[in-house]
Amino acid sequence: MPTVNSFGTRTVLQVGDQRVHIYSLPALQIGGYPEISRLPYSMKILLENLLRHEDGRFVKASDVETCRTSRAFRPWSISLRCATASCVSAATRTGSTRCSPSSW
């Protein structure tokens, strides 16, 4: 799936003899968004997911902005789309089984 990369966070990571594309939160922070370092870990996971899936249709730059600027103490006040795989992955790490995909 092609991504838009509006925030210039797509970078290449060399792993052995392979090159892997990643979406870097430190690159976003250097690009003028210093408040990212203060976000809770769960919001950082969601933000990286949005950057990775930004396509201009399903996930827009405004979704990334909303996540980046939301108040950590009021997560229920925003509505964002994310890919289920990250949700399941986060649930596996935390031991939670109450993670389901949103209706797209």
- Rounded Cα distance, 104 and 87, in Å: 14
Contact at 8 Å (CB) between 10 and 52?
A: no
Residue 36 resides in a domain:
yes
Residue 5 resides in a domain:
no
Domain that includes residue 63, residue range: 10-94
Higher pLDDT, 97 or 32: 32
Write out pLDDT tens, residues 24-68.
Answer: 999 999 988 888 888 888 888 888 988 998 988 888 888 888 877
Can you tell me whether residue 60 is helix, strand or coil?
coil
Contact at 8 Å (CB) between 54 and 5?
A: yes
Split into its structural domains, the chain has a count of 1
Nearest to 43 by CA among 61, 63, 57, 14: 63
pTM comes to: 0.67
Higher pLDDT, 78 or 48: 48
Give the angle 57-59-64 at the CA atoms, nearest 5°: 140
Write out pLDDT tens, residues 58-77.
Answer: 888 888 888 777 654 455 55
